[in-house]
Copies of this chain bind each other. A is one copy, B any other.
Amino acid sequence: MVLRPATIKDVAARAGVSVASVSRVLNAQGVVGEDVRARVMEAVETLSYVPHSGARSLITRKTDTVGVILPDLFGEFFSELIRGMDLAAREKRLHLIVSSSHDDAEEASFAIKSMRGRVDGLIILSPHLDAAALAASMPRSLPVLLMNGGARDVDRPSITVDNHGGAEVMTRHLLAQGRRRVAHVAGPVGNLEAEARRAGYLAAMAEAGIEPVVLDGDFDQASGFRAGAAIAAMDIRPDAVFAGNDMMALGVLLALQEAGLRCPEDVAVGGFDDVPIASLVRPALTTMRIDIAETGRRALERLVSLIDAAGEAPINHEIVRPTLVARQSSNSSNSGNSGSKSALAQGG
């Protein structure tokens, strides 16, 4: 039942030409006569021939494929990111192999190894992976773009978000709203992004000379909910919460609501990432915006240029600076629905 797919030989035979001519037609190499081209095309069509990518890559030493290693956390952030990468990959006619759900460095290393030889380059987002683990699992010959939290310390090109700076901006913003007891819900321990955000928060609090309050979280909504409930129950209750990411901020929001506290009146809330849903909840969530899809696209494009440069490119570390998006959840001039209508009317 499963017919052997047509090979270049079959095409050549049917077109009455040599395999070399078929190859030339298909790759637009050299010059080919009009009649030959036509016959080849006809044969390709009727045999529905498609070149064997393996055989081709054996010779060209390219796979036209790039790999993406993602952490366990999924949700809106990563799907947006992949979307951006996918769009860029399509334009460059590249394929995208994804491998997600790696919850520790070992798994991520394994995934990296298993992709070697089948991709031309790799984009790695594994907040658990440090320089040592990375070096161990990758040959220098494979172009790699890091999007890890602590990538700046590593001898590899990278794109990273300025988590520390962003956290400072957010914390200062909450303080500027007149809030004093600003608490922080931290991301998972060992996650470099989470730690940078926490550090930024601590720096801003120290700067303001206010005692910090840090609660544990893991970047998931549920942990934000628990932290929010804990905050609501505190004797000396914080009047603002900076959650390590938007999903936790949403959890905080709900917990506050269920505890009968109003946001922003009683407690202001800020998040990080600006995932699509952030502008769609009520109160709309103040957050640090990262243009996620665009960052994904940039990442892919940089990886491509690394591949093209064949190791001759300088190793530089690009930094994406998140921008503050002040919405309702941190609004101190009380009242209403600011901006929500327009945001949605323009198309979520």
**A residues engaging B (CB < 8 A)?**
1-3, 5, 48, 50-58, 63, 65, 74-76, 78-80, 82-83, 86-87, 90, 93, 95-101, 113-118, 139-141, 220-222, 225-226, 250-251, 254-255, 257-258, 276-277, 280-282, 310-312, 337, 340-341, 344-348
Contact = CB atoms under 8 A, between A and B. Distances in A.
B310 A50 contact: no
A77 to B, nearest CB: 9
Contact of A117 (B52, B118, B141, B276): B52
Given A95-B97, A282-B254, A54 B51 contact: no
A316 B87 CA distance: 33
Contact of A54 (B63, B82, B222): B63
Given A58-B55, A344-B225, A98 B96 contact: yes
A80 B57 CA distance: 32
A345 B80 CA distance: 27
What is the total number of copies of this protein in its complex?
A: 2
A276 B73 CA distance: 13
B65 A83 contact: no
Contacts of A74: 79-80, 83
A110 B139 CA distance: 34
Nearest to A107: B90
Contact of A99 (B50, B56, B96): B96
Closest 10 pairs (CB-CB, A-B): A54-B54, A79-B79, A1-B311, A221-B348, A222-B348, A54-B57, A222-B347, A53-B118, A225-B344, A2-B311
Contacts of A86: 98-101
A99 B98 CA distance: 10
Contacts of A346: 222
Candidate in A222, A226, A348 with the most chain B CB atoms within 10 angstroms: A348
Contact of A50 (B79, B82, B117, B344): B117
